[in-house]
Every structure is written in C-alpha cells, then in structure tokens.
Chain A
Amino acid sequence: MNITITGDMNGVPIVDADPFVDDVLLNPYAFWESLRNIGPVAWLSRYGHYVLSRHDEVKTVQADWRTFTTTGGAGISDIRKPGHHRPPSVIVEVDPPRHTEVRKAVNRVISPATVRGWRERFEADAHELVDGVLARARFDGVRDVSEPYVLKVFPESIGLELNREQAVAVGDLNFNAIGPNNERVAQAREKVEPFLAWWHSSIKGETVKAGGAGEMLFKLEANGEIPNGLAGGLVMTFLRGGLDTTISSIGSGLWLLAKHPEQWELLRAKPELLRGTFDEVLRMESPIQTNFRTTTGPTEISGLPLEADRKVQLLLGSANRDPRKFADPYSFNITRDATDNVAFGNGIHACAGQLIARLEFDCVFKALLKRVKRLELDGTPEHRLNNALRTLNKLPIKVTLDA
C-alpha cells in the first residue's frame, strides 16, 4: 500500500490515510509498513492527530505519562472537550497522584498472591472445558474454547456472571469507541442498548457475588479505605479490560499454532516455551491494536516537533511488527524474545491484569498440550471487525489426539 505525503507540519509528514477502514483493520500490514517507512511520526490530516507506528517511539510515549497523558481519553476524541465530554476511566484515564491511589486499590484485590490462589480453579476449569471439546475431533477455537473459558473463569473471579451476547455487546462498543464515530460505533451502540440496564445494575455492591474481587472492592469502599465510587468504576474496568483481550489472545494463540504445526510440535517437546509463546502471540496479534495519548505541551519525538494538546495515536500492532526491533517480524517464532512487545503497555498505565491473562493462557494451553498431538485449521478463520480490538469470530479447528 502506498500512502501519499501531502505536505508537512514543521517537518512532520502530513498523510491522508485512514487506519479505521475495513480493509486496513482486516489486513493492516502493508498500511503499517508504509507508515513506518514514512518516518517515526506522521500527521493524519483526515482526523487531525499524530500517529506513531514504530516500536521505539510507541514504547517511549507509553512510558512517559507526563508528556503524553491519558487524561484526554484512551480514544480518538478528547474527553475533556465540548461535544466529546465523558467521565474518565477511574484508572486508565487518570495520572498521579490519583493514579497511585487507585493502583494500590487494584493491587489489594488482584495482588499476585490472590491471582496465584486462583490457579487451581482456573486449571480445573480448563481441563473440564478441554476434555469436553476434545470429545469431538472438530470444534471452533473461539466459540468452544476461548470465549466460554474466559467468560467462565474471569467474571467469577470478580463476582459477576455474564453471557456471550452481553460480553460481545459491551466489548464491541468499548473498543470501537477508541476509534472515530463511524458506522461500527453506531452499530455497537445499538447492540448494547438492551444490556445497559443490566450493566449498570450488576455493578453495585449488592449484586456482586461473595468471594470475588468485586466484593472486596465494595467492602473497602464501604469502610472508607478507598475513595467513594471507585469500586464500581474498577469492576467496570476489570470487565472492559479483562474479557475481550484475553479471549483474543487465546483465540489468536490457537490460530497461530494451528497454522504452524512445527511450533506446536516444538511446544509439545518443550512446554517451558509456553510463557514465551504468549508474548509472541501478543506480538503477532496484539489484542488492542491501537490507543491514544494527548500531548500535555509542545514536545518532540525523534527530533520532530509535536504541537501541544494534540492526540497521538499509537499503533501497537505495527510497533510489534517493526523490523527495527524484531528481526523477521512477520514470522511466528515461539523461541524468540518477544518480551519487549508493547501490547500490555509500558510505564504507569501498563496492564494491571497481565498476570491473570498469563494464567488463563497457561491453563488452556497446558490442558491442550497434554492431549493434542496435532492441531490444524479446518477451514478459513474469520475476524470480528473492530476499530481497536483484533479478535477472531470463527476458528474451525481439527485435532488429532494422543493414542
């Protein structure tokens, strides 16, 4: 794909390109490569924001909340401006000192020790689900594995229950809203409408189940140990951040491993590679493909000047396939060191739930590796188009089990 440069803004190339059209969302690689080759930063004239597509610049911006704040919102519009105004996410869209206080509350309820305590339940659920699925030689990797597994173990850990339809509706709107107000957003709004009453009523102290992270948060709030209103906001954040992303990574993992039987074989021989496999899957198919920061003042990146109070779009998927960082970036290789991928973010806003994401991936694949000799595609997979989320909708799989 050729992206045409139409001018420059103090040396920053101006391009008329759209990252949010179907073709690009479905197959973004040529678009990304073209942008990366134009330079470390470009100005998208169509939307009026900067875009970063290379690894080093994306990582630098993620880590620098002082210069590139999230308080303007994680999406394309500035949530502090008229016409786009909405309350910020209680954790993603706040900066220190408030952020520190919120992050501490999160650490109390999903501390590493707590999450380790979930392992037994997560493993048992993975075995039960996988055994059921493997009773058939053919199944769908998304409908039968990644979706039901995540929707079982994660909401339960928070103290909620939700079905696939609810989860998909909420997730679609949540991630489409990162992008421009296009047809996809309008459709997602319509689909979520029937669930809004349920969504708001379920996120209350009285309705969360005992024993989960949600209950702990509401208790802390009732005791005045965390600020008022934070518990509900965090439960919402957990659901927004912890479902679609992990469903995506398990689905993409199955897809990539089914496409590369030699990697499955290698993983069977060396199960200790599973941890690195997760990083490599995130690098290849970053669940959140893009999000935004806002410049807090005039600044520069790689020697090019950026104006104050402008949105900066980070193309995480592109950064993770930048050949300047990852050699042979298009090849799926579970033995490479992919730990420096930017899918989880960097700095203070790095994903707080990544231990949980790793745990889920680990449990599902360990259960599969135990019994599945060969994992193969059994048809053409389909993606569910979204402005920011990369996730599969259909993944026909065929397996051969150990004798």
Chain B
Amino acid sequence: MPKIIFRTKVGKSHEIDATVGSDVMKEALTHHVEGITAECGGAAACGTCHVYVDEATLARLPPPESTEEAMLDFTAEKRAINSRLSCQLRVTQEMDGAVFTLPDVQF
C-alpha cells in the first residue's frame, strides 16, 4: 500500500495507507482527513477537493482532463501551477510518498 501524506499550510501532516485503484479524494474522506470537502462526490464539478501536489509526484501524474482543467479555474483558493482536483487522481503504487498540501479554504 502506498503511503500518501496530506499536509496543511501550517505544517500539520496526516499520513495514510492508500488503496491502489482508489482516488486521492476518496482516500482522504475514508481516513477522515480534514480539508477535503468533495461536495459533488468526485465528478470534477465542484472544485472542493483541491490540492497542491509536490513536484516529483506532479511530474508523474497524467495531465488534467477537460472537465478538471475547466474546474481548476474556479477553486476557492487560487489555482497554482501544481493545483489538481484530488477526485481525479488515481492512487498508484508509484504515488508512495506523495505530499498533497491542502488549501486553507475549499469554498
């Protein structure tokens, strides 16, 4: 099981054992990680599961599909170069060690 880390801006970390094949948003909810709202349930339609991805992980991720790309402009906290919607990120073994920084606000 890959370990993935959710981190708040003030440096509080929450490390979880993620399930391969699941998605990062769902793993956050399952493990009660605070700061992921996921209002729409995982369809890239609400922008409330926004995360900032560490550089190494970001480079390995497939680029955002059209819907995620369009939604990223509407996140509550400003989009950065490493912004992704965690509902669109499939957990893989290679994701081990990934760090997802949580925005201060999701809506």
Contacts and interface: CB of A to CB of B under 8 A. Distances in A.
A107 B74 contact: yes
Interface string B22-41: 00001000000000000111
Nearest to A108: B74
A327 B2 CA distance: 27
A113 interface: yes
Interface stretch (A142-150, A213-221, A350-358, A383-391): A350-358
B78 to A, nearest CB: 14
B103 interface: no
Interface stretch (B3-11, B51-59, B62-70, B91-99): B62-70
Nearest to B43: A350
Contact of B66 (A103, A108, A339, A345): A103
A107 B70 contact: yes
A346 B41 CA distance: 11
A100 interface: yes
Contacts of A106: 70
Given A103-B66, A113-B107, A351 B45 contact: yes
A354 B65 contact: no
A279 B48 CA distance: 18
Contacts of B67: 99-100, 103, 347-350
Contacts of A65: 66
B70 A103 contact: yes
A211 interface: no
A112 interface: yes
Interface centre among A97, A279, A344, by most chain B C-beta atoms within 10 angstroms, is A344
B48 to A, nearest CB: 7
Contact of B107 (A96, A112, A347, A351): A112
A340 to B, nearest CB: 8
Interface in A315-367: 339, 344-352, 354-355, 358
Contact of A104 (B45, B65, B70, B76): B70
Contacts of B41: 279, 339, 344, 354
A344 B46 CA distance: 14
Contacts of B39: 112, 355, 358
Contacts of B76: 113
A350 B48 contact: no
A166 interface: no
A108 B39 CA distance: 17
A107 B44 contact: no
Interface centre among A95, A104, A346, A349, by most chain B C-beta atoms within 10 angstroms, is A104
Contact of B43 (A100, A111, A116, A345): A345
Contacts of B74: 107-108, 111-113
B106 to A, nearest CB: 9
B51 to A, nearest CB: 16
B62 to A, nearest CB: 12
A354 B42 CA distance: 11
Interface centre among B48, B69, B107, by most chain A C-beta atoms within 10 angstroms, is B69
Nearest to A103: B70
Given A107-B74, A112-B74, A113-B107, A355 B46 contact: yes
B46 A112 contact: yes
Contacts of A347: 65, 67
Given A113-B107, A347-B65, A354 B43 contact: yes
A354 B45 contact: yes
Nearest to A110: B45
B43 to A, nearest CB: 4
Contacts of B107: 112-113, 116
A99 B107 CA distance: 25
B104 interface: no
Contacts of A354: 40-41, 43, 45
Contact of A100 (B46, B48, B66): B66
B17 interface: no
Contacts of B45: 350-352, 354-355
A315 B107 CA distance: 35
B40 A355 contact: yes
Given A104-B73, A112-B39, A339-B26, 6 more contacts: A95-B66, A96-B66, A99-B66, A104-B70, A352-B45, A354-B41
6 contacts: A65-B66, A104-B70, A113-B76, A339-B41, A345-B43, A355-B45
The 10 closest A-B pairs by CB, nearest first: A350-B43, A103-B70, A96-B66, A100-B66, A348-B67, A348-B66, A104-B70, A112-B46, A107-B74, A99-B66
Interface of B: 26, 39-48, 65-67, 69-71, 73-74, 76, 107
